[in-house]
A = this chain, B = another copy of it.
Amino acid sequence: MAARLGIGMVGYAFMGRAHSQAWRNVAAAFDVPLRPELAAICGRDPGGVARAADRLGWAASETDWRQLIERDDVDLVDICTPGASHAEIAIAALDAGKHVLCEKPLGNSVAEAEAMAAAARRAAPGALAMVGFNYRRVPAIALAASMVADGALGTIRHVRASYLQDWLSDPDAPASWRLQRQTAGSGALGDLGSHAVDLVLHLTGLDLTEVVAVTETFVAERPLPAAGGSGLSATAAGGSVAVDVDDAFCALGRLAGGATVTLEATRVATGRKNALRLEINGTKASLAFDLERLNELVIDEGDAAARRLLVTEPDQPYVEGWWPPGHVLGWDHTFVHEARDLLNAIAAGVQPRPSFDDGLRVQRVLSAVVDSAASGSWQKV
């Protein structure tokens, strides 16, 4: 029987629900060397967190994340809070010898990310840290990464990565913590752009050496949300809140070796719901992916034939935990895969990827985007 690994989670909103599902299901889907136990969940509101614990399957609840870290039954701290608190919690947990899974983006600044990466380096290998770029665990993306690594695309010449959503298209869409720099660090850039940047770096295995960028806030003021729960920290004047993060960013860049890159993230692309789109053109082949059809990967080999792979075959990444061919997976399965890989890495005592150093690398790109948008000039990463 597999050994137990006690999980303590901070935060129980969107990401907390998705991660809880992963911890509940990973050992049923996959042969994992460690059996996660949902020891305790933490949130500031005692009633809310107790209800979340009951509903999401956690044995206990806490209201202070420092208490959570100190619990003997917590071996791994899973951080699902807004970016502003990532650094403090992650560093404390790692310093306390606990493994850490931290949602993306790693922190709200390069300085925070550097401190976190330093903490991860000094905690290893006793405590291991991973950042939650879950899209690396979409089977189609994992397959794409291995194809690129195997040379199937040849030399990469062009990369296009965009992450398009539209929940802020409407100027009357309400404010939330995601629209405030103090909590979220940035807007579409950190929330969506960080995924796009991580995937460009991960899929190509190359550094993004320089960027030139614009950021834009199309709607500078938004109404307060009707009900609470928005996590807004700012005082609102006259029923509206100033938006101090970007609605969108758009960048041009270069990979080591000379490939061109276009990068974009937006929350105002009307009609796009969750369109993380990737396209890589290599000398031998091209690939294309859209998160709205995440079971599919399109490969072009120069013969005018786009091969739409349905990535649900048993020998494709992660699929062995699931169902027969054609029984498609959803967005949330990626978190189960993430949990599997993290448990495997902890059991083997090896560094899980994406590491905090990987997270830092993304943060440096986000920072270069901000600097370029401010200065109007190319920025080295």
Contact = CB atoms under 8 A, between A and B. Distances in A.
A328 interface: yes
Given A157-B268, A214-B260, A274 B20 contact: no
A44 interface: no
Given A252-B214, A274-B324, A325-B167, A304 B309 contact: yes
A181 interface: no
Given A21-B25, A214-B260, A293-B293, A302 B271 contact: yes
A47 interface: no
Nearest to A262: B262
Interface string A327-341: 111111100000000
B286 A271 contact: yes
Interface stretch (A53-61, A83-91, A235-243, A342-350): A53-61
Interface residues of A, number: 91
A17 B24 contact: no
A186 to B, nearest CB: 16
Contacts of A268: 157-158, 281, 283
6 contacts: A20-B28, A216-B260, A262-B262, A269-B281, A273-B310, A304-B325
A18 to B, nearest CB: 7
B282 A300 contact: no
A320 to B, nearest CB: 13
A122 interface: no
A121 interface: no
A205 interface: no
Given A28-B57, A269-B281, A271-B286, 13 more contacts: A24-B24, A27-B55, A212-B212, A250-B260, A270-B301, A291-B326, A293-B293, A304-B313, A304-B325, A304-B326, A327-B330, A327-B331, A377-B377
Interface string A285-317: 110000111110001111111111111110000
A258 interface: yes
A377 B212 CA distance: 9
A93 B164 CA distance: 49
A284 interface: yes
A177 interface: no
A338 to B, nearest CB: 15
Nearest to A377: B377
Interface string A25-59: 10111000000000000000000000000111100
A273 B286 CA distance: 12
A165 interface: yes
Most interface-central of A273, A304, A326 (chain B CB within 10 A): A304
B260 A328 contact: no
Contacts of A260: 214, 216, 248, 250, 264
A14 B323 CA distance: 7
A312 B252 contact: no
Contacts of A311: 304
A273 B310 CA distance: 8
A276 to B, nearest CB: 9
